[in-house]
Amino acid sequence: MADFAELRRQALSLDELTRDAFVEEVLVLPMDDATTRGWKRMQATDRDDWVFAAGTGLTWAVDRPSKLGARRAAEAVTFPPLHSQMVGWWLFHAWRSIDLLKAGLDASASGTTSVTAVTSRALIEELGCLVTEVRLVRKAWETAKLPDLACLHRASLVRAQLSPTLTKLQFASRMSNLPASMPSATNVLTYVAKLDKLSKSPKFSEWYNWLSDASHPAFGARLIYVTNPLRHASGASILRLHSRSPIHLVDHHGDRTDFTYDIEDKANAALETCGFLLVEHLRAALKLVDDFGLTTSAPALTERAYWRNLLPASSGDTCPCGCGPWAVSLHAWGAEAPSVPALTV
């Protein structure tokens, strides 16, 4: 059986990091002139604390700005809402990965291969989705971060780059009877093909095909409960042993022989590879989320408190994201966005 002690330690460390995480996501809807007039009438009577910024025919407004946010309206209606969307996007991937990883590791340890196969298959899909999305988010963020621009234009460029990307990722669905306004999600086979392409190996689609068969009441699922075939030396017959869990033989000397199980081997191999890659990509994706928050100072522009609301440090201090001294950190307009790991298997 595979030794998953290190993978379990890393999964539990992420679990610890995210267990109590919470974010109040704010989606800012651009208002046309009629909606803006209605919003202004309502605000005059309710006297809630809002800040707004107007562009060409559209207005954006958000409540609960900080004092700084009230002075920097264009940034306040853009950066904190987008940061809350990014944190929510990251937490989805983290919580889903951790739930699946823990279930897969427990199932593998107890020899419950039917569950390991289903969770390992889901982990391949989750890894393909994260690897694809982290590249999209990084590209959108870096396109907005690199150019040398005035403050006002910066906010609109960041919104134009990140808002459509994050909104599509969060609301895309595979259901067939979707309203026309809802984006349709990427086919899962596209994610698996992406993993093969990036890793320059057919491993992911091979695992995925077998584990899909094992996740349905098909040949692969039936293989879970039988040993790989033992052919009689004469060629006259084949012996397969059926059992609830993987079995082994112990001879009269006490020597142990394990039978082999193809689905168990593939499920464990996919669990190990996808597990470590997920942890690595989640850590890299969190650096992107933090880079956005620290470069834009989003948490300083709102009164809302949320997970990862890190504030820029003073020049002599250490960066709160853990990347090292603040003075040499790359959380600044014009600097490159944090990189995404290569996919090696």
Query: Which residue lies nearer to Zn ion by CB, 84 or 329?
Result: 329
323 part of the interface to Zn ion, by CB under 5 A: yes
In angstroms, the CA 46 to CA 101 distance is 47
Q: How far is the CB of 281 from Zn ion (least distance, A)?
A: 18
How many chain residues bind Zn ion (CB under 5 A)?
4
Q: How far is the CB of 331 from Zn ion (least distance, A)?
A: 6
Q: In this structure, are residues 326 and 318 in contact, taking their beta carbons and an 8 Å threshold? A: yes
335 part of the interface to Zn ion, by CB under 5 A: no
Other C-beta atoms closer than 10 Å to the C-beta of 187 total: 10
In angstroms, the CA 205 to CA 211 distance is 10
329 part of the interface to Zn ion, by CB under 5 A: yes
23 part of the interface to Zn ion, by CB under 5 A: no
Q: How far is the CB of 26 from Zn ion (least distance, A)?
A: 24
In angstroms, the CA 123 to CA 138 distance is 22
Query: Which residue lies nearer to Zn ion by CB, 198 or 323?
Result: 323
Which of the 8 DSSP states describes residue 56? S
286 part of the interface to Zn ion, by CB under 5 A: no
Query: Which residue lies nearer to Zn ion by CB, 89 or 292?
Result: 292
Query: Which residue lies nearer to Zn ion by CB, 83 or 266?
Result: 83
* 7, 321, 337, 343: residue in contact with Zn ion (rule CB under 5 A): 321
Q: How far is the CB of 245 from Zn ion (least distance, A)?
A: 47
Angle at 279 between CA 3 and CA 7, to 5 degrees: 15
Pairing relation of β-strands 256-258 and 248-250?
antiparallel
337 part of the interface to Zn ion, by CB under 5 A: no
Applying CB under 5 A, which part among 73-81, 101-109, 145-153, 322-330 lies near Zn ion?
Answer: 322-330
Query: Which residue lies nearer to Zn ion by CB, 227 or 295?
Result: 295
Query: Which residue lies nearer to Zn ion by CB, 281 or 331?
Result: 331
319 part of the interface to Zn ion, by CB under 5 A: yes
Q: How far is the CB of 321 from Zn ion (least distance, A)?
A: 3
For residues 138, 141, 146, 149, the Cα torsion angle rounded to the nearest 10 degrees is 170
Applying CB under 5 A, which part among 102-110, 212-220, 245-253, 321-329 lies near Zn ion?
Answer: 321-329
Q: How far is the CB of 329 from Zn ion (least distance, A)?
A: 4
Q: How far is the CB of 136 from Zn ion (least distance, A)?
A: 22
Angle at 5 between CA 255 and CA 193, to 5 degrees: 105
59 part of the interface to Zn ion, by CB under 5 A: no
In angstroms, the CA 119 to CA 126 distance is 10
Among 188, 136, 126, CA closest to 165: 136
Among 302, 293, 300, CA closest to 323: 293
195 part of the interface to Zn ion, by CB under 5 A: no
Q: How far is the CB of 193 from Zn ion (least distance, A)?
A: 34
For residues 220, 226, 228, 231, the Cα torsion angle rounded to the nearest 10 degrees is -130
Query: Which residue lies nearer to Zn ion by CB, 53 or 300?
Result: 300
In angstroms, the CA 132 to CA 137 distance is 9
Among 326, 306, 307, 303, CA closest to 316: 326
For Zn ion, the binding residues (CB under 5 A) are 319, 321, 323, 329
